[in-house]
Structures are given as C-alpha cells and as structure tokens.
Structure 1
Amino acid sequence: MPRMTTERTESIPRVDPSTTSGEREALEQWLDWHRATLARKCEGLDDAQLRTLSAAPSDLNLLGLVRHMAEVERGWFRNVLAGEKAAWIYATDEDNDRDIHVTDEDTYEEAYATWQAEIAHANALAAGHGLDDIGVGKHRGGKTYNLRWIYLHMIEEYARHNGHADLIRERVDGATGY
C-alpha cells in the first residue's frame, strides 16, 4: 500500500515545556504537553476513524485511548491522591477493558468531554498538594504515592500511549508527527 501524506493544521494548542523551569512547573508542563499530543492525534478524524483498530490482535484504537486516559486521570488523581473512591467511568465487571473496547454507539464527543473533565478535576486536586504530599488513597496494590510519583507516572503513561496513537493515526490516514 503506498504511503499517504496528509497536510495537517492543528487547532489544539500545545506549549513546549520550558527548558529552565523548576521541578513542579516542568512536571505540569510535560504532562500538559502529552495530554495535548493525544488530543492532536485524534484531531480531524470522525468517530469511525477513531474506532479503527491498530492491528490484529490488538484492541487499541484512538477513541479507546482517550477513554482509557480519562480512567487513568480519575484513578490516580481522584482515587490515589485524593482518596475519593470514584467509580470507573467505562470499566465494568463484565469488561474491565471497556474503555478500550468501543462500540458504534461510543462517540469522541462524549469521550473527549469526559477526559477533559477528568483533567480539570485532576489539576484542581493537584493544585492543593505539594510534590512530596502522599496521597490519601491507595492503588490496587495497596501502596501510597506522592504527587511527584503520580506526575511522573502520568507522563510515562501518556508517552507510552502517544506512541501507540502515532502508529494508529498513521494506519488511519497516513498522518505522522505533530
């Protein structure tokens, strides 16, 4: 199959992290950069394209990655940092990976709005804590984590999934980069 090229214009702002900021500012800037990167990977695609699977046997798709990251934001900031015990958004007892397993009824509009709401809530919660503050909740393994660790983990989680998103987007329409 010949390689397609697609010209892109991004409307989703993404600010490059400062090269001279302090620790907290750097962590927040890199997390925001990765959040914006995932949104850019999805930009300009319709719901059917966003549901396109990466490659068999994987269930990964861009819509599912957005939904997954909404779950991850919720889990680490609401549940681990703040101890809210918030229920999963998409996961069910029958399908723990329901965030990734999208159907024709699942839309990007809903997923994006949910994801952005979780990001806003995460930012509000983090603003009330210092990097060394230990979250009041526990992760599934029973451990506690400080905000610094949560920020670093979130950056890693987004970076890994943005790599997946790169490949899926290229499969969908040939677009690369950004």
Structure 2
Amino acid sequence: MPGQVGAISNEREGLLAYLAHMRYVLKLTAYGLTPEQLRATPAAGTLSVGGLIKHCSATEEGWIDTVRRQPQKVDYEAYNANFHLADDEPIEAVLAEYDRVAAKTEETVAGIDDLGQAVPVDHSVPWNPKDLDNWSVRWVLLHLIQETARHTGHADIIREAIDGGTAYPIMAAAENWPDSPWMQKWKPSGDQQA
C-alpha cells in the first residue's frame, strides 16, 4: 500500500480508504518486532504496540456492532484487557482478528444507503455526551479514523523507543521499496547488511 491514500471519488470511499490506511499504518508498527518487543512498554504508561493494535481492533468492532444495533455489554475488565497483548497471544492472531473486523466494517458500511443513518449513543460510558441521543454512521467512521490515527501515533512513539524504527522506513522494508538517497529501509538492530 502506498504511503498516501489514493484518489477518492465519493465520501463513503474516502472514509473507508482513510480508515483502511490508518489500520495498515498501525499494523506496520509491529513489523519486525519480537514477541517481547510487541509487549514492551518503554514509555511512562502501560501502552505497547501489540496492545494498541488489539485495542483498535476491539474498539472498531464495538462501534460497528453499535451501528448494526447489536446488543453490547460494557465490561470494564475486558476493555482494559484489550490494551494488553497476553503472553500466549501471538501477534499473527491479533492481526488476523483486525483483518476480520475490517472486513466486517466494509461489509456493514456497504449495506447502508445513507451515512446519515442514526446510531444510538451509549449513555452508560462517561465519555459520551448525555444530551445527544444519536450519532450518524458518518460520525462513527470519522471517529474510528480519529481513534485509529491517535493510537497509531502512540504506537509510532513506542516503536521508535524500542528500536528506532519510524513509519516510512518500516513501510519501505515491509513493502520492499528500493533504497534511495533520502529513504533507507528499516533494518533490525544488529543487521549489518548494507
């Protein structure tokens, strides 16, 4: 996938393309990391690359289930667990789950004629406004882009603290871009190959 979203022809395509791009860039923060590095929390808080990917996947599915009007139970313990990659949880399973959630999002949005369709506000959580009864599907997609982008920024910082890897060199390595005078592919620490 290129480093930028391509041309878009309509609002729905644009919202889905930007969400897909943010998912992809977030997943790239895990590229080349060991299981220990995926769980590392090098900042003052408890965020890890693996945990952030897991959280964004669960958050997106929760919102899409809300759009689909599927009943949900707000579970504080499950919410907190989604920020952590368990010791026996392989990143491949987390990435596959995120791909499944992405497909569910695409399918759900494709089946909605009007992005202005009402989506009920969950008043049981403290961060939602009490004076608003409905979001729109459009708002949900914009919120998912915002949420994923914010956590991608967190993951970028954590990744750079772990091994110095940054977004475009990691993307260049993952996609095997040719090296150029201004962009060199990321290489694992200790990799002496030129």
TM above 0.5, one fold?
Answer: yes
On the 8 A contact 2:156/2:166 being kept in 1, the answer is yes
Residue 72 of structure 1, aligned match among 59, 67, 81? 59
By how many angstroms is 1:145 displaced?
Answer: 1.7
| TM-score, normalisation: structure 2 | 0.74
By how many angstroms is 1:66 displaced?
Answer: 1.0
On the 8 A contact 1:18/1:26 being kept in 2, the answer is no
On the 8 A contact 2:52/2:84 being kept in 1, the answer is no
Distance, in Å, in 2 between the alignment partners of 1:112 and 1:177 is: 18
Distance, in Å, in 2 between the alignment partners of 1:110 and 1:39 is: 12
On the 8 A contact 1:81/1:145 being kept in 2, the answer is no
By how many angstroms is 1:86 displaced?
Answer: 5.0
Task: Give the fraction of aligned pairs with identical amino acids, expressed as a percent.
Answer: 32
Gaps of 5+ in 2: 169-194
Residue 84 of structure 1, aligned match among 66, 70, 85? 70
Distance, in Å, in 1 between the alignment partners of 2:23 and 2:49 is: 13
On the 8 A contact 1:50/1:63 being kept in 2, the answer is yes
By how many angstroms is 1:104 displaced?
Answer: 1.6
Residue 162 of structure 1, aligned match among 152, 161, 170? 152
Distance, in Å, in 1 between the alignment partners of 2:152 and 2:43 is: 16
On the 8 A contact 2:15/2:141 being kept in 1, the answer is yes
Q: How does 1:89-104 map to 2 (within 5 A)?
A: 94=77, 96-104=79-87
C-alpha change, 1:173 and 1:163, in structure 2 (3 Å) is same
By how many angstroms is 1:27 displaced?
Answer: 1.2
Q: How does 1:36-47 map to 2 (within 5 A)?
A: 36-47=24-35
By how many angstroms is 1:16 displaced?
Answer: 2.6
Q: How does 1:108-123 map to 2 (within 5 A)?
A: 108-123=91-106
Gaps of 5+ in 1: 1-12
Please give the root-mean-square deviation of Cα atoms over the aligned residues, in Å: 2.1
* Pairs aligned (count): 160
| TM-score, normalisation: structure 1 | 0.80
By how many angstroms is 1:156 displaced?
Answer: 0.5
By how many angstroms is 1:93 displaced?
Answer: 5.1
C-alpha change, 1:98 and 1:17, in structure 2 (3 Å) is same
Answer yes or no: is 1:52 the counterpart of 2:40.
Answer: yes
Answer yes or no: is 1:132 the counterpart of 2:132.
Answer: no
* Larger gyration radius, structure 1 or structure 2: 2
By how many angstroms is 1:176 displaced?
Answer: 1.1
C-alpha change, 1:150 and 1:14, in structure 2 (3 Å) is farther
